[in-house]
Amino acid sequence: MATVNRGAVVLQPAYFTSSVFVKALRDDITNLVHTFHEKYKEDNTKPFELFKTLWSAQGWKWMHFKVFDSRTRQTFLNVTVRLFLERMVKTEAPFVRTVVLFGLYTFFNTQPTGSAPALRGLSHIPIPIDQYASLIALPGTLTTPYLAPLQPFASYVVSALVDAQVFHLLPNSELGVLNPRDIPREIFVEEGLIDSNQPQRKGGHYSKRDKVIKARTALDAVGRWAERTPSPSAAKTTRTRYEAEKTRLVQEIGVGSAGEREASQGVVERLLEAHAGSDGDIEAWTGLARVQTASGSAGGMLRMLQ
């Protein structure tokens, strides 16, 4: 009897853009920065050597072996460098930005090569132009006595990355140029343990909780529509007010009076003057024939106030 091998379990790219991975990696980066800070206060004579020691001790050297599938690995690499870069914005302290720069540099330059089968690698680091400018200026901010030991190493790392043409420049970050625009894109919500005594929902059927959510959503939508739509009583009030204003206007002008006929004729003359010299057919203009007819009849233009 022939045997069939089980398929390999492969993480989907969505895992690495989800809150499960993004939150964990953000915490790991924060822990790396804090640990380096504590050790740096004790001895700052060899900062980059200290960083490499912590990098290995915390298991970062194994990061590249988390996933091997090419499609998923591409997302993993892009998200990882993006999470390093997000801690290098101007709002972060120069010390934090420097430690994260060391991490980005080390992660990018320790990608496995020569393995069999070959692992997919990251050839360029996408970075918005404003973040790139901030990165280039970072060494110049390390001028205080506490930060000065970091400056030569930060300068070397920045120069090495720029000379190797590692960065793929993108438009300003305010334009949302990265894909996905925001991370995490998928949010994992833990709903708690399943009660085995409760009947399980069949596929394609809504649970009571789902029905309540859908009902509330529909109710909110109806409420928003009702706020935008005037009520019948409001429409009736508007119509009544219009009729009253129309009656008052007719009484003041007077139907068939010289003032009414002069005003009607003036409207027609201004319309004809406005369209003088046009290549189009005046008779075809919408409403013009109706205006001319109304101006020459009893009641004039007031007849059009229906």
Answer whether residue 195 is part of any domain: no
User: Which domain covers residue 245, as residue numbers?
Assistant: 239-276+283-304
Domain boundary among 175, 198, 224: 175
- Yes or no: say if 129 and 170 are a contact pair by the CB < 8 Å rule: yes
**Angle in degrees, CA 219, 225, 229, rounded to 5:** 140
Query: pTM for this structure?
Result: 0.59
What is the pLDDT at residue 195? Answer: 44
What is the pLDDT at residue 196? Answer: 45
Q: Across the chain, where does the E strand assignment appear? A: 125-128, 167-170
Answer whether residue 81 is part of any domain: yes
- Do 89 and 164 fall within a single domain? yes
Answer whether residue 118 is part of any domain: yes
Answer whether residue 183 is part of any domain: no
CA–CA gap between residue 279 and residue 285 (Å, rounded) = 12
Question: What stretches in the chain show pLDDT beneath 50?
Answer: 1-2, 4, 192-196, 198
What is the pLDDT at residue 99? Answer: 94
What is the pLDDT at residue 52? Answer: 93
Answer whether residue 202 is part of any domain: no
What is the pLDDT at residue 260? Answer: 67
What is the pLDDT at residue 81? Answer: 93
* Contacts by 159-166, CB closer than 8 A, 24 or more apart: 160/105, 161/105, 161/108, 161/125, 162/136, 165/124, 166/108, 166/124, 166/125
- Do 19 and 140 fall within a single domain? yes
- Do 257 and 145 fall within a single domain? no
Answer whether residue 209 is part of any domain: no
Answer whether residue 3 is part of any domain: no
Look at the chain and report how many structural domains it folds into: 2
Domain boundary among 151, 175, 199: 175
What is the pLDDT at residue 69? Answer: 79
Domain boundary among 121, 140, 175: 175
- Do 41 and 162 fall within a single domain? yes
- Do 45 and 153 fall within a single domain? yes
Answer whether residue 186 is part of any domain: no
- Do 293 and 160 fall within a single domain? no
- Do 266 and 166 fall within a single domain? no
What is the pLDDT at residue 2? Answer: 47
- Do 39 and 156 fall within a single domain? yes
- Do 43 and 134 fall within a single domain? yes
- Do 267 and 156 fall within a single domain? no
